[in-house]
Amino acid sequence: MRWSVILMLAALFGFGGGCHSTPSGNHASNGGGSGNGSGPSGGMSEEVYRVRRERMVSTQIEARGITDPRVLAAMRKVSRHLFIPEAERELAYDDGPVPIGEGQTISQPYIVALMTELIRPQPGDRVLEVGTGSGYQAAVLAELAAEVYTIEILEPLALRAASLLRDLGYANVHTRIGDGYRGWPEKAPFDAIIVTAAPGRVPEPLKQQLAPGGRLVIPVGTAYQELVLITRTASGFREEAVTPVRFVPMTGEAEKNR
């Protein structure tokens, strides 16, 4: 029933995608501290942003069926506007994706909340994110899990996100510059994996890096995309289509497998 409601909503609202990513490469930096801090926010006061953030959660997220209290609390806590370039900051709490540079976007708030709820992050979990982008999804995950490992293929975005996450005190977020198609094998297994760019098909290395019972949520497709939830079971993998979405395409090795 819930997924049918989500599918109807998908027809009414445009779903934005995040940034491309997947392994290799160098560390952009590791975070420092813990929890969500505050930073320069441009023109409006923090109270105005707080009110907009509360309205975002109630009208865009709770109203569409997100019920996990920890996810809702994280969405209320993390200052989304800090992850958006100042010129676009007025749009931070709107119901849609927002440009963040390098041809990329920060995903629609509802989609961030939906993907987070789907992986069911627990306080002791280790989570992999493929596609750091602005760093916003990583910050939300850092409020919910023990450790977050996030990979970004575009160096300018990776460096900017790593710096911001460090400044905000997220010591449990570990960043890496590279192509995340093959995940982060030396840090596997992961209790959950979130992918914020769409490959033509699910990368097998990501599935293999799931711990038993682990959950992978990923947009899949080219002209038509679906958000897919994959769970590792005792006998293999269970796959479930969730809702139509629109994400930026995954680049790097994924382009060879379209």
- Measure Cα distances from 16 to 67, 196, 199, 225 in Å: 21, 10, 15, 12
> Which one of 107, 134, 163, 235 is the catalytic residue?
107
29 is catalytic: no
* H helical segments located in 191-234: 204-208
- How far apart, in whole angstroms, are the C-alpha atoms of residue 127 and residue 85? 26
- How far apart, in whole angstroms, are the C-alpha atoms of residue 131 and residue 57? 23
- How far apart, in whole angstroms, are the C-alpha atoms of residue 21 and residue 252? 8
Among left, alpha and beta (phi > 0; psi -120 to 50; other), residue 156 is: alpha
Instruction: Encode 91-148 in three state secondary structure.
Output: HCCCCCCEEEECCEEECCHHHHHHHHHHHCCCCCCEEEEECCCCCHHHHHHHCCCCEE
Q: Other C-beta atoms within 10 Å of 178: how many?
A: 21
The residues carrying an active-site annotation are 107
